[in-house]
């Protein structure tokens, strides 16, 4: 792991709300779909940069449970991009030993996307490098509700906080340390509601398609200046 500058602990798990593809396209006088295409390129740059920096888990908010409200053409374009990404990047994951995982409800995904996702997860499951968690058809409330349904189906004892996390999508993955949002919006938009309870937030005005590894480095170095208190008092 590279040190990445002076300061506090390095974030092990980073979540990214990749926002601003549509605005980027509008500013270029292009269709929204072009923005998503450029957003995919940015996602590839950030995956590479995070892997090089020694991040252990990178959760990418790719498609929310609310994003189905968009025009059918836009939704199917995004799904097509995801499919292409999963297929086209397999050599890259192999070279970099990157494991692909999913957060969100697989049931709501188109059958072919779900198949592609399952194949990529299976193909990379033994890789011990960084884990990229694609939050796809993901909503924080939905994750909690699905968790409760799993718990009830097991007829389990009343849960504790530590016990309930076993019913989340990826119980073995630690809570995110840092959540980054591009395109200047100060809201969670239903991302990692449970796990993100004590995440440090970093909001950047820069639109997602313009993001490079340097922007990630900046976010990490700002994170390392923060004092995390978890409700306690200053030392």
* CA distances to 64, 72, 76, 77, 192 from 69, in Å: 10, 8, 12, 14, 20
Query: Is residue 235 classed as helix, strand or coil in its secondary structure?
Result: coil
Write down the least CB distance from residue 97 to ligand IPE, Å. 26
Residue whose pair of structure tokens reads 């993955």 in the numeric block:
173
Residue closer to Mg ion by CB (options 124, 182) is: 182
- Residue 67 known to be catalytic: yes
Using CB under 5 A, count the residues that bind Mg ion: 1
Point out which residues pair with 103 in neighbouring strands: 135
Catalytic residue among 19, 142, 169, 177: 19
Cβ distance to ligand IPE smaller for residue 3 or 73 = 73
User: What tokens does 92 get?
Assistant: 């890259």
Beta strands in the chain (DSSP E): 13-17, 57-64, 99-103, 131-138, 178-181, 200-203
Q: What is the DSSP letter of 69?
A: G
Q: How far is CA 50 from the centre of its chain?
A: 12
From the list Mg ion, ligand IPE, none, partner contacted by residue 195 (C-beta under 5 to 8 A by kind) = none
Nearer to ligand IPE by Cβ, of 10 and 20: the residue is: 20
The pair of three-digit structure tokens given for residue 143, joined into one six-digit string: 């994750």
Cα 217–chain centre separation:
17
> Which segment (16-24, 143-151, 160-168, 220-228) binds Mg ion by CB under 5 A?
16-24
Q: Is 64 in the site for Mg ion (CB under 5 A)?
A: no
Binding site for ligand IPE (CB under 6 A): 17-23, 39, 61-64, 67, 78, 183, 185, 187, 189
Q: Which of 13, 19, 63, 77 binds Mg ion (CB under 5 A)?
A: 19
Residue among 52, 67, 175, 210 flagged as catalytic: 67
Write down the least CB distance from residue 22 to ligand IPE, Å.
3
Please list the active-site residues: 19, 67
Task: Using CB under 5 A, list all residues that contact Mg ion.
Answer: 19
């Amino acid at each position: 792991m590279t040190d990445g500058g002076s300061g506090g602990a390095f974030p092990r798990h980073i979540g990214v709300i990749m926002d601003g593809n549509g605005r980027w396209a509008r500013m270029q006088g292009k269709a929204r779909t072009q923005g998503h295409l450029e957003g995919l390129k940015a996602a590839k740059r950030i995956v590479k940069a995070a892997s090089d920096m020694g991040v252990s888990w990178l959760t990418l908010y790719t498609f929310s449970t609310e994003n189905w409200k968009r025009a059918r053409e836009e939704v199917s374009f995004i799904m097509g991009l995801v499919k292409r990404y999963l297929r086209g990047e397999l050599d890259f994951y192999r070279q970099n030993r990157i494991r692909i995982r999913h957060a969100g409800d697989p049931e709501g995904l188109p059958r072919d996307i779900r198949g592609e996702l399952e194949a990529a997860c299976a193909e990379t499951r033994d890789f011990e490098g960084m884990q990229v968690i694609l939050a796809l058809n993901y909503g924080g409330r939905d994750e909690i509700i699905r968790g409760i349904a799993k718990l009830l189906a097991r007829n389990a004892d009343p849960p504790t906080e530590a016990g309930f996390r076993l019913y989340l999508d990826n119980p073995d993955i630690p809570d995110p340390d840092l959540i980054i949002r591009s395109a200047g919006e100060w809201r969670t938009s239903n991302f990692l509601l449970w796990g993100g309870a004590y995440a440090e937030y970093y909001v950047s005005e820069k639109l997602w398609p313009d993001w490079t590894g340097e922007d990630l480095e900046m976010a990490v170095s700002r994170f390392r200046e923060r004092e995390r208190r978890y409700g306690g008092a200053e030392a």
